[in-house]
Amino acid sequence: MRYSDCNKTLRENVMKSYELASASQEKLNAVVTFADVEKQIEETIQDETLPLYGKPVAVKDNISTKGIRTTASSRILDNYVPVFDAAVVEKLKAAGATIICKTSMDELGMGGTNLNAYTGKVNNPYDLSRISGGSSGGSAALVAAGVVPMALGTDTGDSIRKPASYCGVVGFKPTYGRISRYGVIPYASSLDHVGFFTTCVEDACVTLKCLAGRDDRDMTSSYEPVGEYDKNLNSDLNGKKIAVLDNVLSSIKDERIVNEFHQLMKKLEDRGAVIVHVTMDENLLQTLLPVYLIIANAEACANHSNLDGVRFGMREEGNDLEEIMINSRTKGFSSAVRKRFVLGSYSLFTENQEKLFRKAQKVRRVIVDSYTSILKDCDCIVAPAAATVAPHENDSVDEKMSDTYLVAENHMILGNMAGTPSLTLPYTFIDGLPVGVNVSAKAFDEQTVLNVAKAIEEETQLEGKCAEV
């Protein structure tokens, strides 16, 4: 579904999506909580000139919604109902959108499969036996199934862009600070981005324009002016220098994905683009996942120290305060999340900080410098977004230090470490399953990302494509 498909009245659009979400729940398991749409319809400003007027949307369940349960797909927050809206939710409502539901995610954003959500696995709309990807898998699945034209997500490693590849939709993580994170349950503060899913690049332009901008409640949000992304959308590639990251291609074992990618690059070259092949130090790229896990999980330990079963959230009984906290956190978190907390805590021990956490920060700086040096000499960098189509549950390679997938499955972490804008969109189908290509550019150059993505979309003719569920 595209924004342009929402051409009925507000009530008709919203109720249609709400019914589709309800009907698809048994197959997709993508929804955690359904919203009160009738109340929202009554409260919506009746102004058809608003950019998102009459548009039904879904919101990832780590984004605060006033009066609507927000669990981050964790048992420990199963009863948490915020008393305020996140900044992005405020902006959605101000633009005329209606929230129909909160979407499933990897618990607290910690994962890349959407397998550890408290409510269970999210299924891929193109093959229900396969994963949607994570952590924003519920949002990706609903957009891919045509339930909503847009859904919010968050991206700490590749948590929007990997599900976008697996589910065959547009997934966009803009520059760090471009969209306010006020009201978003954090994972890792130096890596977290708010972004979104759509079924076409033009809708991504409209969405970014609505959500971007400075917010004094989030001191990391940027003062950079918000562009007219939709009006300035231009797919002319004549003279554009596009860098292909060869490290990724050489680590992908499925030759069909590589061959389809080369064919796409030839089409862009025929449109006037200058294609150059670049490589990064392979040792640096192989440190991406370890460095990410150290930094992200150390920051997560600090961010989630308040989830103790005492101040708010689910509480387990105990004989004293310490026992209550131990019982609540033990039963409140999945084993996958507890593992990440152990890793994060270990790297923050006083005796380990210099040799683990501080060292990881220094290596991150070296990685970012190497990456941004490539961007200085080109307009954007492109590479396949994933090494495979969406895997089956038991075939997932989430966090495995495999030589085969260490680079190809994790290279999009570069966009989080550097804070640069990065977008994934489908470029082909293999065995009936979508495969995505990733486009990244310099900080705050979202327009170039969108323009190149538009050219790719014109070549693939996959704009607005949705799965039949």
Domain check: are 38 and 166 in the same one?
Answer: yes
pLDDT tens per residue across span 55-92:
999 999 999 999 999 999 999 999 999 999 999 999 99
Domain check: are 159 and 230 in the same one?
Answer: yes
What is the mean pLDDT of the segment spanning 213-233? Answer: 98
pLDDT tens per residue across span 354-401:
999 999 999 999 999 999 999 999 999 999 999 999 999 988 755 556
Distance, C-alpha 210 to centroid of its chain: 17
Domain check: are 354 and 445 in the same one?
Answer: no
Per-residue pLDDT band at 328 (split at 50, 70, 90): confident
* Mean pLDDT of all residues belonging to the chain: 95
Backbone angles phi, psi at 355, to 5 degrees: -85, -15
Distance, C-alpha 58 to centroid of its chain: 13
User: How much is the pLDDT for 402?
Assistant: 63
User: How much is the pLDDT for 44?
Assistant: 87
Residue 45 has pLDDT above 90, yes or no: no
Domain assignment present for residue 427? The answer is yes
Domain check: are 223 and 329 in the same one?
Answer: no
443: its two tokens: 């900080």
- Taking the CB of residue 350, how many other CB atoms lie within 10 A of it? 6
Task: Tell me how far apart the terminal alpha carbons of the chain are, to the nearest angstrom.
Answer: 13
Domain assignment present for residue 59? The answer is yes
What is the mean pLDDT of the segment spanning 146-165? Answer: 98
Domain, as residue range, for 327: 285-364
* Final residue before a domain boundary, out of 339, 364, 389: 364
pLDDT tens per residue across span 32-43:
999 999 999 998
Per-residue pLDDT band at 325 (split at 50, 70, 90): confident
Domain assignment present for residue 67? The answer is yes
Per-residue pLDDT band at 322 (split at 50, 70, 90): confident
Query: Which among 137, 97, 104 has a CA at the least distance from the CA of 17?
Result: 97
Query: Which among 172, 190, 152, 195 has a CA at the least distance from the CA of 64?
Result: 152
Residue 150: give its domain's CATH number.
Answer: 3.90.1300.10
User: Would you name the residues annotated as active-site residues?
Assistant: 60, 135, 159
User: How much is the pLDDT for 403?
Assistant: 60
Split into its structural domains, the chain has a count of 2
Higher pLDDT, 323 or 215: 215
Domain assignment present for residue 275? The answer is no
Per-residue pLDDT band at 324 (split at 50, 70, 90): confident
Beta carbons of 253 and 387 less than 8 angstroms apart: yes
Query: Which among 123, 108, 7 has a CA at the least distance from the CA of 63?
Result: 108
